[in-house]
Structure formats: C-alpha cells, structure tokens
C-alpha cells in the first residue's frame, strides 16, 4: 500500500485526553477516533490489527474443535429474567425498550442466549460435547470509560460456551480453552499468565484470568516468575487427549499466580523469595466453569445413556479482541512509538524512499515494492515528498517490525538498509535479496 493512497491521519501532538501509552499511540498513529465517551471508530490501520488478532483467535479456536457462529448484539430481556440476571447485572447493562414496549438489552455477554439456542436443538447426550463461540461487539455502560480501548463501553469480544454431560467433560473443555488461549496470546507476541481469579457476575467455582504484565494495568497480581519461562512454541496439541491437555494445564497453573481478589499470602510466601513477584497487569481473557447454574434455571437438559433427563454442565470463555490491541501496545513500545510483534503487525514492513522524484531511487523502490508483494508481503510504501526525518518518525510511530530504506548512497552499491524496529539492528541487503530475506523471516518460503 502506498502511503499517499492510504488513510492514516497521523497526529504530531498527543491529545490531552490520552492518559496511557496505548491510547496516546493509537490516536497519534491514526488507528482510532473517539465517537463518544468509550466508543471508537476503528480507522484503517487499527482495523487491520483488529482483523489480525481476530484471525488468530478463530484459527486457535477451531484447532481446539470449537465451532464459530454469530449471535446478535441486541437480546430480549425475557431470557435474562428467566435466568435471574436481569436485575442482578447492574447499571452496566444498557436496557432498551423497542417501539412495541418490549424490554431489550445490548448484550454484555451471551450465556442466556446461547443456552436458549442449545435447549431448542439438543436433547441427547450423543450430541455432546459441544462448544460454540462467536466474535461480536458488546456493550457495558462503564460509569467512567477511560484509557481508550482498554476500558471502553463498546468492545469487540470473543465469547465461547461449552456444553458437556458431566463435570469431567466440562473440565476437559476448560482445559482446551486454557490451552487455546495461551497459544493465541503467544502467537500475538504476548506473555499472558493464567491466574486464579474471582468469577464476578458470571458465576461459577472455577475461573482463570489471563493477564499481561504492564505498569498501566488495572489489576494487582502476585506470581512465581518461573511461569514466564513456559511457552508452546510450535508444539502441536492433541485436543482430544484429556490426559495430555490436563498435563499441559497443570504445567501452566502449578506456579503460583493469582489476582488480588484470590491472593493467599501464606501460599505466596511458600514460593522462594527470588521468584516471588508483585506487579500490575492487564486482563485480556477469562475462562469459567459454572456447572449447571444456567442449565438448571433455563431447563437446558439432555437425556443420558440411562434415559434420564439431566442438566448439562457449562462454561464460558472470553477474549477481549479489541482490548488486546491496546494490551499489545502497552507491552510493546518505546519512546518513539509502537513496536508490533510480527504476528499482528498491520503491515509486514515499511519502505522509505529517501529521494522521492529521483528517477533512480524511484525505480529501485518500485522494483522492491513489486517484489515484496509478489512473495506475499504486505508493505507500506512511504512515497510522500517529505523530509527523511519526518518519514523515519512516522515509521517509528507506526511500529512496523522491519523498515527498508532506499537512498542514493546505498544504490551506488546496489544495496538498501534493512532495520529491525525492535532491536534497532541495521544491515545492508542487496536489492535483489531483500524481499526473499523478509519472506524467510515471515515463513513465506
């Protein structure tokens, strides 16, 4: 994409309302624009990142055997009254009355709606286990929305729901979700720690939050820092094997890691002093097992192998897709701007023409631009007639992982400069080899 043909309304000054790094950089990089308090339009650059994150979530959910669908943003209040949560949920729920006087609401979550779908179509244990999920916009009327997309009123969220015959089956679903979430965050370049947490208004006995360490995080957390050494890498997981999944989950949950609400000072002090850490963190996901809480109240039952009607065991699982954009920036930035992990970057690389209008430089840039696209790389070509300093500042702010700089000095030797945004390491690469070099880095060859 040529920058002269793209829409990135970059700001030189930081808007006064931006209090944290991610909010400042998302506004300055032209990723979002506030529509009203806690509600944002996602401009092209921000939308590209949002789609990258959504794609990773979909891929890992389906790899775990979960089935995508889509539920509406508006829900009937009748289902929430049936479950008993309509009055209990509080003022964060945006309640609406339609023209016929029917009570409606803008969904903050979907336990009731998915339970109604399930009970309408599933009656036998033979159809279990079943996990359905969707990615949809949600709304919670925060009393004081702040921090940009980190604490907005409207947000994009993946929520999934499992239905199992018994506790053992439901805990296998719980484990599948934990693994799929950890793999998703790892692909996004994040180290998200699963922490024992409080279930809040969702309910249930078992729940883990996934938190990314950051100074601006709203959560106070306590953990054994050895958990930071764990990683999946390219390891494949057999989600059908209960013992394998349980073993992986045990590895990730054995080290002490809890939020303030569930923190146990006695247990924490049993961790060796050099490994005990206290920090702030950002919540990016949560999984719940709540047994028959909703299936009992909403009569979601199946017939078991003995012909008995039994309530199904359920769990729900959420990832804050739009919140992740902010969390990734909070964990990946410097004083110049964003530093995108390669898994979620809006463009694979940036191409800077240092002498726009010079025939030789323009020709070299066109050659590189075409070769990058031919190997499947998404490139942002700064073809503006701006000074070099302005172009470098823009690229640093946007935070693309790699920058290719083309100028007269390098062209004398038929080379360009390739720079890593994360490390700052620079090297000279021949014009004919730069696209192949980046294609190898991104695993495209």
Q: In this predicted model, what pLDDT tens digit does every residue of 119-133 receive, in sequence order?
A: 999 999 999 999 999
Whole-number percent of the chain with pLDDT over 70: 98
The segment(s) of the chain belonging to CATH 3.30.930.10 are 3-338
- What's the CATH number for 349-441? 3.40.50.800
| Listed range (162-166, 226-230, 295-299, 333-337) with the worst mean pLDDT | 295-299
359, HSE (Cβ side, Cα atoms, 13 Å)? 0
Q: What is the mean pLDDT of residues 268-273?
A: 96
The segment(s) of the chain belonging to CATH 3.40.50.800 are 349-441
Backbone angles phi, psi at 4, to 5 degrees: -70, -15
> Quick one: pLDDT at residue 151?
86
How many Cβ atoms are within 10 Å of 342's Cβ, its own excluded?
17
The answer to whether 224 touches 256, Cβ cutoff 8 Å, is yes
Instruction: State the architecture of 3-338 in CATH terms.
Output: 2-Layer Sandwich (3.30)
How many Cβ atoms are within 10 Å of 250's Cβ, its own excluded?
10
Q: Rounded distance, CA 371 to CA 385, Å?
A: 23
> Quick one: pLDDT at residue 203?
47
> Quick one: pLDDT at residue 145?
85
Residue-wise pLDDT for 355-364, tens only, equals 998 999 999 9
The H or E element that residue 419 is part of is strand 415-420
3-state SS of the chain: helix, strand, coil percent to 5? Answer: 35, 30, 35
List the structure tokens of 224: 């054994």
Q: What is the mean pLDDT of residues 429-435?
A: 95
Pairing state of beta strands 192-196 and 206-213? antiparallel
Q: Rounded distance, CA 146 to CA 243, Å?
A: 43
Q: Which of 227, 225, 228 is nearest to 274 (CA)?
A: 225
Q: Rounded distance, CA 165 to CA 173, Å?
A: 11
């Amino acid at each position: 994409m040529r920058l002269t043909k793209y829409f990135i309304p970059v700001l030189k000054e930081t808007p006064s309302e931006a209090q944290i790094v991610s909010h400042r950089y998302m506004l300055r990089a032209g990723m979002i624009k506030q529509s009203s308090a806690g509600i944002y339009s996602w401009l092209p650059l921000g939308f590209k990142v949002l789609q990258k994150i959504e794609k990773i979530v979909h891929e890992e959910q389906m790899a775990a055997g979960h089935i995508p669908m889509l539920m509406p943003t508006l829900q009937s209040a009748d289902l929430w009254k049936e479950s008993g949560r309509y009055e209990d949920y509080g003022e964060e729920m945006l309640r609406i009355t339609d023209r016929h006087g029917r009570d409606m609401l803008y969904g903050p979550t979907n336990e009731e709606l998915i339970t109604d779908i399930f009970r309408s179509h599933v009656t036998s244990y033979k159809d279990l286990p079943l996990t359905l999920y969707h990615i949809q916009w949600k709304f919670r009327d925060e009393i004081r929305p702040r921090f940009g997309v980190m604490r907005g009123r409207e947000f994009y969220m993946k929520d999934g729901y499992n239905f199992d015959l018994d506790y053992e089956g439901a805990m296998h679903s719980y484990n599948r979700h934990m693994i799929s979430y950890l793999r998703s965050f790892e692909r996004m370049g994040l180290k998200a720690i699963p922490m024992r947490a409080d279930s809040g208004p969702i309910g249930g006995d078992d729940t883990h939050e996934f938190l990314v360490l950051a100074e601006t995080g709203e959560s106070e957390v306590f953990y054994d820092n050895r958990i930071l050494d764990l990683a999946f890498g390219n390891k494949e997981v057999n989600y059908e094997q209960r013992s394998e999944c349980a073993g992986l989950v045990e590895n990730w949950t054995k080290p002490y890691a809890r939020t303030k609400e569930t923190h146990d000072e006695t247990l924490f002090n049993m961790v060796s002093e050099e490994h005990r850490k206290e920090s702030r963190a950002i919540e990016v996901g949560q999984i719940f097992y709540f047994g028959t809480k909703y299936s009992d109240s909403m009569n979601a039952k199946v017939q078991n192998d003995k012909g008995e009607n039994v309530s199904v065991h359920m769990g729900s699982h959420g990832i804050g897709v739009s919140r992740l954009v902010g969390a990734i920036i909070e964990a990946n930035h410097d004083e110049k701007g964003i530093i995108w992990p390669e898994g979620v970057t809006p463009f694979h690389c940036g191409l800077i023409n240092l002498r726009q209008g010079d025939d030789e430089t323009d020709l070299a840039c066109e050659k590189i631009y075409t070769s990058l696209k031919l190997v499947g790389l998404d490139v942002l070509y700064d073809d503006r007639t701006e000074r070099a300093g302005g172009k470098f500042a823009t690229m640093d702010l946007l935070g693309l992982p790699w920058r290719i700089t083309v100028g007269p000095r390098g062209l004398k030797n038929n080379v360009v400069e390739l720079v890593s945004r994360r490390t700052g390491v620079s090297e000279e690469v021949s014009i004919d080899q730069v696209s192949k070099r980046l294609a190898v880095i991104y695993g495209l060859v």
